[in-house]
Structure 1
């Protein structure tokens, strides 16, 4: 994960590459790529993303899907956002997490994504907020749920952790989760 700025420059070039956009070279697998970075580099990655998302000279369109912001929107839609702090204080974090998981799952995220985003050719779904939305949503479960609905465009996950081709390990500290349908990028 060294030389982050060089890797980010390569990522800027890669997202404009026709082979990347068309998913060539993936052996007919889904076009899901993961850009891993050290969690301590979050501010550098965020700065890069702010620049690239607004860059009008790119040959593609990046659709940022911040999973944490989606989670907040879903909580607002369910009219539960304001009650979350009180529930955590009175019932505890474990109980709150159980309640949130029973109310908000992958389907609610997918419904919100489909409501907000209608991707077209040359669009790339850029998943951000992966670390922020933990433990409310795990990215390996989200990617599995997204495949039937967003299979026509590349999905690029900005991941604060490591992916060895078989396991995702958030923050390079948590219990790894199996996920084999994605590819490391840069």
Structure 2
């Protein structure tokens, strides 16, 4: 299938009763990855926006789409904590690596109180499908394995789809088709 055909499959899949009951293969929690060649980023963003508008503005659907853009979440948290301007200062004075480490530490990405996971968890609504976007924009501060593994421990009542600019083999993720993650995921490919 080409990218347009794959994108068209998303609506069909998320409208299925078994998907909305949050069952993956073998009755496991429904975590899914829609992987795509990064050159199709704009088409994917447009389709996500289209689906959100179509489903959320219609009364014929009994679920909503909640989109969480990882990059936007980072910016929102940094703003809330009064840390955004400090991050710019860190980068200017001490370099990008120092700023990245400082932001990663502030977001508590390696702890149980991961601020990004808590941000998403605290905004979940019943009868929803979660779309996680902005994976490429949030790199290298946030790695998809960190989000998926921590979300999986926190959210098990609604289906979650991560839109991933790269390749998902069913075992590991390769961001931008070049950066291999080396971690195993309990997620299913949404569309082959």
TM-score (norm 1): 0.92
Aligned to 1:99: 102
Deviates more, 1:81-90 or 1:57-66: 57-66
Preserved contact between residue 128 and residue 159 of structure 1 (Cα < 8 Å)? yes
For residues 70 and 25 of structure 1, do their structure 2 counterparts lie closer, same or farther at Cα, with a shift above 3 Å needed?
closer
Alpha-carbon shift at residue 25 of structure 1 (Å)? 5.1
For residues 9 and 85 of structure 1, do their structure 2 counterparts lie closer, same or farther at Cα, with a shift above 3 Å needed?
same
Query: Residue by residue, what CA displacement relative to the aligned partner does 1:31-64 show, whole Å, maximum 9, x if unpaired?
Result: 1000001111111111111111010346331100
1:119 aligns with 2:119: no
1:31 aligns with 2:30: yes
Deviates more, 1:16-25 or 1:73-82: 16-25
The 4+ residue runs of structure 1 with deviation greater than 6 A are none
Q: Aligned equivalents of 1:173 and 1:104: distance in 2? A: 26
Alignment of 1:10-159 (within 5 A): 10-24=9-23, 26-55=25-54, 56-57=57-58, 59=61, 60-106=63-109, 107-115=114-122, 117-121=123-127, 123-159=128-164
Alpha-carbon shift at residue 21 of structure 1 (Å)? 1.4
Alignment coverage as a number of residue pairs:
183
Secondary structure, counterpart of 1:64 in structure 2? strand
Q: Aligned equivalents of 2:94 and 2:173: distance in 1? A: 31
Secondary structure, counterpart of 1:6 in structure 2? helix
Preserved contact between residue 140 and residue 177 of structure 1 (Cα < 8 Å)? no
Unaligned runs of 5+ in 2: none
Q: Aligned equivalents of 1:110 and 1:25: distance in 2? A: 21
Preserved contact between residue 105 and residue 137 of structure 1 (Cα < 8 Å)? no
Unaligned runs of 5+ in 1: none
Q: Aligned equivalents of 2:24 and 2:89: distance in 1? A: 50
Preserved contact between residue 128 and residue 157 of structure 1 (Cα < 8 Å)? yes
TM-align CA RMSD: 1.5
Alpha-carbon shift at residue 110 of structure 1 (Å)? 2.0
For residues 175 and 118 of structure 1, do their structure 2 counterparts lie closer, same or farther at Cα, with a shift above 3 Å needed?
closer
Alpha-carbon shift at residue 179 of structure 1 (Å)? 2.4
